[in-house]
Structure 1
Amino acid sequence: MPLRPRTVRSRRSRTGRRLIRWSASTLAVLILGTAGAGYLYYQHLSGNLEKGERSSGDSKAERTAPNAAGQTPLNILLIGSDSRSSDANVALGGSRDNRDSPPLGDVQMLIHLSADRKSAAVVTIPRDTRVDIPECKDPETGETFPATNAIINESLGRGGAGCTLATWENLTGVYIDHWMTIDFAGVVSMADAIGGVEVCVKQNVWDRPLPGMKGGSGLKMTQGRKKVQGEQALQWLRTRHAWGSDLLRARAQHMYLNSMIRTLKEQSVFTDGGRLTRLAEAATESLAVSEEIGSPKKLYDLGMQLKTVPTDRITMTTMPNVQDPQDDNHVIPDSADAETMWKMLRDDIPFDKNGEKEKAKKDKGKEKQAVQEPSVPDAEIGVQVYNGTGSSDEAAVPRRARAIAQELVGAGFVRAAADSSGSLAQERTEVSYPSAELKGDAQRVAGALGIPLSSVKRSTEVSGVTLVVGADWREGTAYPEQSAPEAGDVPDTADALNGSDDTPCMEVYAPYRW
């Protein structure tokens, strides 16, 4: 009988094409984040950097409001591209046939640095997650790509990294400040330059071709802990079959990254000029960044913020997900658990419980918007209500817009009306307004239904006060009270790993033991 890995999604192997560049992208961020002493060298490194537009897609995300000290979180999207745009990338990627194909963003991680710069969270979205990709315009060619529903790794080829950023923003509601991308080239030298990272397996592992299962990374290790570098480090990052699934490969990557962070903090690499030079050179030669951080000074400032977070305040996670009912090769967000994580990011709630108990709850259930007086009485406020209760795994609830519009009319908003053009799909309920003078009107409508002020947004896409009843409000006429997550309330389905934990070991899928 043919052997297949334990996975919620079976797919043909794409050996040699994925995740090699992941090592370089994470190393690049770490190097830029700890190389403060080498600021002058960035004058040279800047010539290596490619730059691009921050966002090239249609996104509605807004920045998180500042905390009491006036600080805001920092969000950086890391994208690993499978581009075949050079001979080096083809050689490392393993497929000349795809040289001119649009690049895929197969590795995508969001780094969230808290407003107080004391904690960080990293969230991976699996490459085969089906999402809504917005309309995007390629900043280089001018080509416009229509909105579509597809797997998230296709977003990179539909307008570049800026389109992937917009896709993430629409999915999560999190404003993303910057992006960084990396391709295959330069990764081998990066893996060698780090000098070895400790990993662990519970059984002897050999990720090799088996009857009925092609491919394999070639990783061969005996059980226990061992430092890997160079080719073997790349094999670790590429291994999928031996762990049993792509989702478990993400766990192995997170283990590697946590170990690498600890290694870099423990050794004297950042006082070793020659070694630091090799690391920085290899990173920037294969790195592209959004244009607003495309200078040595801005990268230095960014790095100085990243380097301050202690390892026990770093949490690696994967977006909670379930099998896609439309295609068992794909996944979709696990609505409730994924929304908990997005809310924690939007509200800057730490993923760990290791912080000071100060005001660690950080205003978490408190409103962050000042209440503004409405411009007219309730009876004169026009409100358009849309049914957005559909989602990727559930159909829209019939007549929801009508039910909520009637509730508003009964509350004195007699100009409220339901839109009859059809249902939408929106995860969160929101009240939008087009201009500053209508902010108080929108807040008044939200307050009448119990919708939190944090869900009141300004938008240039609406002509008046607009209420979209989201998938988080599928029944009842009063908005359901949302329990605010606290520090450390990351769902179990996120497979969280703390940066200081050096005990995890990968379980090897039985056919790949030796």
Structure 2
Amino acid sequence: MTQGSVHEEGTRRGTVRHARGGRNTGDGRDDDGTGTADRQGPPGGRGKRSERRRPGRKHRALRWSATTLAVLILGTAGAGYLYYEHLNGNIEKGERSSGDSKAHRTEPNAAGQTPLNILLLGSDSRASDANVALGGGKDHRDNPPLADVQMLIHLAADRKSAAVVSIPRDTRVDIPACKDPDTGEKFGATNAIINGSLARGGAGCTLATWENLTGVYIDHWMTIDFAGVVSMADAVGGVEVCVNQNVSDRPLPGVPGGSGLKLTAGSHKVQGEQALQWLRTRHAWGSDPLRARAQHMYMNSMIRTLKSQNVFTDAGRLMNLAESATKSLTVSEELDTVKKLYDLGMQLKTVPTDRLTMTTIPTVQDPQDENHLLPADSADKMWAMLRDDVPFDDKGGKGSAGGKGDKDQQGSDRNGGKDAAGGTPSDEPAADAEIGVLVQNATRSATLGPVSGRAGAVAGTLVDKGFTRATKDTSAALSEERTVVRYPDDALAGDARRVAEAMGIPANAVRKSTDVSGITLVVGADWRSGTSYPKQKTPEAGDLPKDSDALNGSDAGTCMDVYKPYRW
């Protein structure tokens, strides 16, 4: 096994655009150490010069795997109260959500169980000497951080399966209005690439962005910076990876940079700088999505390694790992102790590796900027599976929450006679003609513009059905992935359910909300035409989009193909 070195990247103007899909972010930052304006693709590629330049950095790609490692090991290292309190003091905390989000918790299944969703973020913050030393760029120490690695971990309600979804850092999405919890600075809603959300109100703004994009309520977030990551990876003792051809991720004519990774074909155990090189490599795989695949392979291998070792019973190793991890982690405020992190880690640890599925959101090229991406239409199926707790694999039936069958889509309530806000069918509705309804147009999505006139059309249908007090909201079109009926207090719960029933909207889309003053029907991106809510087809277990690049956690036989120019 040959080990390359991690080195500073060269700088030449241009952008990378490999024939197999390699691409820069367009935001002036790149994972393998150059700014967008500092790179040039192979002959014949098209590029676009960025207006920003950022110097090289190291170690970014390890952060995401170290975050999950930290979740797995934190909490078991405490040998006594003082040490426990010491570790608690290491943990930095922040506001769970600092943005305008409309997502609601998933209701418990028949067994009283609920899914758990955790957003893991890798920040490129240089706010400490350690981060500057690892990431470079001391002149940019005060720049707002970007969340260049973003993954949502979904733990099924029955804790028998888990799914991980990554979003490429340069995917353009709607970022909601956010407020920085530390400075009080307010940021208006915008449409931009998702990695910039971290600088618009912290991790809580990124969480709100994900919730609005997916409709999935996210319970916690965790971020990790450069510091402590390499030592945590070393503590595992090496992670096995595999390539199908000899690989050398090195500078080529017209394509400066490269991670320095050099391996012969076959399996290798990597750690330290070589593990870093594996996770940073992009050119040798051919694209950013393929780099995500290599990172998922590393992640799965690391989890299998941890499960096969005695790391959870070796107090010395755990103490070192816990010390490093708690100094590197920032968590949402409800995860403010090692005990809570430990409890979270134990829930994740119970999932068998063959029930862990890692994916990347399907994307298409952004027509506004070839260096950016948009969520593909097929991503909606992934979001629906997460919302309804449908397993990403096909080994556990419809899911611990039971899935949403056709009967539920027609308005039957699967939650023991309760809607999502806890109302009961005993709340008798008023006569249809006495129920006031405001209809809002929220048909704009991440990939499609709003449908003009939808609020008026749906309001007109309600009037025809006897809801003569229905009116349309004349304000600008909103963005909501799923149609929902909101009401402000319990006295109107029955009326809200009656409106949903009349329009064929499922009962679990009826929500109590302090954001409305009366019954409000929000026509979402899932209802762009027609006078009645379209019947939604619920994905079956394992029915992932073909372009989600799913990897099973137990698959130890996968290897990366090497892009031809980087073979030796």
| TM-score band w.r.t. shorter chain | over 0.9
SS of residue matched to 2:67: helix
1:351 aligned partner: 392
After superposition, the C-alpha distances for 1:122-151 in whole angstroms (9 at most, x for unaligned) are 111111111111222212112222222111
1:419: Cα distance to partner?
Answer: 2.4
Task: Give the letter for the 1:342 counterpart.
Answer: W
Task: Give the letter for the 2:218 counterpart.
Answer: I
Q: Quick check: 1:407 aligned with 2:461? A: yes
Out of 354, 362, 366, the position equivalent to 1:312 is 354
After superposition, the C-alpha distances for 1:67-88 in whole angstroms (9 at most, x for unaligned) are 1111111111111000001122
Q: Quick check: 1:420 aligned with 2:474? A: yes
Q: Quick check: 1:213 aligned with 2:248? A: no
Q: Quick check: 1:143 aligned with 2:185? A: yes
Cα distance change on mapping 1:120 and 1:3 into 2, 3 Å? closer
After superposition, the C-alpha distances for 1:150-191 in whole angstroms (9 at most, x for unaligned) are 111111111111111111111111111111110001112112
Q: Do the aligned partners of 1:23 and 1:190 also contact (CA within 8 Å) in 2?
A: no
After superposition, the C-alpha distances for 1:239-263 in whole angstroms (9 at most, x for unaligned) are 1111111111111111100000000
Q: Quick check: 1:7 aligned with 2:21? A: yes
2:11 aligned partner: none
Separation of aligned partners in 2, 1:395 and 1:322: 16
Of 234-243 and 5-14, deviating more is 5-14
Separation of aligned partners in 2, 1:164 and 1:2: 27
Separation of aligned partners in 2, 1:508 and 1:185: 30
Q: Do the aligned partners of 1:36 and 1:303 also contact (CA within 8 Å) in 2?
A: no
1:100 aligned partner: 142
Alignment of 1:273-422 (within 5 A): 273-335=315-377, 337-355=378-396, 357=397, 362-365=402-405, 366=408, 367=413, 368=415, 369=419, 370-371=424-425, 373-422=427-476
Out of 160, 169, 174, the position equivalent to 1:127 is 169
Out of 166, 169, 174, the position equivalent to 2:208 is 166
Q: Do the aligned partners of 1:201 and 1:223 also contact (CA within 8 Å) in 2?
A: yes
Q: Do the aligned partners of 2:216 and 2:383 also contact (CA within 8 Å) in 1?
A: yes
Separation of aligned partners in 2, 1:344 and 1:427: 14
1:20: Cα distance to partner?
Answer: 3.3
Q: Do the aligned partners of 1:119 and 1:350 also contact (CA within 8 Å) in 2?
A: yes
Task: Give the letter for the 1:495 counterpart.
Answer: D
Separation of aligned partners in 2, 1:421 and 1:140: 32
Q: Do the aligned partners of 2:156 and 2:400 also contact (CA within 8 Å) in 1?
A: no
Alignment of 1:258-273 (within 5 A): 258-273=300-315
- Structure 1's consecutive aligned runs of 4 or more residues displaced over 3 angstroms after TM superposition are 1-4, 8-14, 35-44, 357-361, 370-375
Q: Quick check: 1:54 aligned with 2:108? A: no
2:289 aligned partner: 247
Q: CA RMSD in A?
A: 2.1
Separation of aligned partners in 1, 2:241 and 2:509: 43
SS of residue matched to 2:475: coil
2:245 aligned partner: 203
Cα distance change on mapping 1:167 and 1:3 into 2, 3 Å? closer
Task: Give the letter for the 2:354 counterpart.
Answer: D
Task: Give the letter for the 1:348 counterpart.
Answer: D
Q: Do the aligned partners of 2:155 and 2:163 also contact (CA within 8 Å) in 1?
A: yes
Of 280-289 and 14-23, deviating more is 14-23
Cα distance change on mapping 1:371 and 1:211 into 2, 3 Å? farther
SS of residue matched to 2:256: coil
1:264: Cα distance to partner?
Answer: 0.4
Q: TM-score, normalised by structure 2?
A: 0.86
1:300: Cα distance to partner?
Answer: 2.2
Cα distance change on mapping 1:386 and 1:153 into 2, 3 Å? same
Q: Do the aligned partners of 2:390 and 2:398 also contact (CA within 8 Å) in 1?
A: no
Q: Quick check: 1:430 aligned with 2:471? A: no
SS of residue matched to 1:75: strand
Q: Quick check: 1:154 aligned with 2:208? A: no
SS of residue matched to 1:500: coil
Out of 34, 56, 67, the position equivalent to 2:109 is 67
SS of residue matched to 2:74: helix
Separation of aligned partners in 2, 1:283 and 1:300: 12
1:178 aligned partner: 220
Separation of aligned partners in 1, 2:322 and 2:63: 15
Q: Do the aligned partners of 2:228 and 2:324 also contact (CA within 8 Å) in 1?
A: yes
Separation of aligned partners in 1, 2:467 and 2:167: 41
Q: Do the aligned partners of 1:4 and 1:213 also contact (CA within 8 Å) in 2?
A: no
Separation of aligned partners in 2, 1:147 and 1:401: 22
Q: TM-score, normalised by structure 1?
A: 0.94
Separation of aligned partners in 1, 2:434 and 2:295: 56
Q: Do the aligned partners of 2:78 and 2:319 also contact (CA within 8 Å) in 1?
A: no
After superposition, the C-alpha distances for 1:283-318 in whole angstroms (9 at most, x for unaligned) are 222111112111122122222212111111111111
SS of residue matched to 1:293: coil
Separation of aligned partners in 1, 2:79 and 2:290: 36
Cα distance change on mapping 1:485 and 1:2 into 2, 3 Å? closer
2:538 aligned partner: 484
Of 36-45 and 18-27, deviating more is 36-45
Q: Do the aligned partners of 1:361 and 1:487 also contact (CA within 8 Å) in 2?
A: no
Q: Do the aligned partners of 2:230 and 2:272 also contact (CA within 8 Å) in 1?
A: yes
Separation of aligned partners in 2, 1:119 and 1:147: 35
Q: Do the aligned partners of 1:10 and 1:328 also contact (CA within 8 Å) in 2?
A: no
Task: Give the letter for the 1:347 counterpart.
Answer: D
SS of residue matched to 1:21: helix
1:386: Cα distance to partner?
Answer: 2.0
1:65: Cα distance to partner?
Answer: 0.2
SS of residue matched to 2:330: strand
SS of residue matched to 1:331: strand
SS of residue matched to 2:460: helix
Q: Structure 2 unaligned runs (5+)?
A: 1-13, 34-56
Cα distance change on mapping 1:234 and 1:416 into 2, 3 Å? same
Alignment of 1:19-34 (within 5 A): 19-32=61-74
1:455: Cα distance to partner?
Answer: 1.7
Task: Give the letter for the 1:19 counterpart.
Answer: A
Q: Do the aligned partners of 1:2 and 1:211 also contact (CA within 8 Å) in 2?
A: no
Separation of aligned partners in 2, 1:322 and 1:153: 17
Q: Do the aligned partners of 1:375 and 1:437 also contact (CA within 8 Å) in 2?
A: no
Cα distance change on mapping 1:406 and 1:7 into 2, 3 Å? same
Separation of aligned partners in 2, 1:371 and 1:320: 40
SS of residue matched to 1:90: helix
Q: Structure 1 unaligned runs (5+)?
A: none
1:230: Cα distance to partner?
Answer: 0.3
After superposition, the C-alpha distances for 1:454-500 in whole angstroms (9 at most, x for unaligned) are 22222222221111222211221121111112221222221111111
1:256 aligned partner: 298
After superposition, the C-alpha distances for 1:309-332 in whole angstroms (9 at most, x for unaligned) are 111111111112211222221112
Separation of aligned partners in 2, 1:217 and 1:205: 11
Q: Quick check: 1:442 aligned with 2:442? A: no
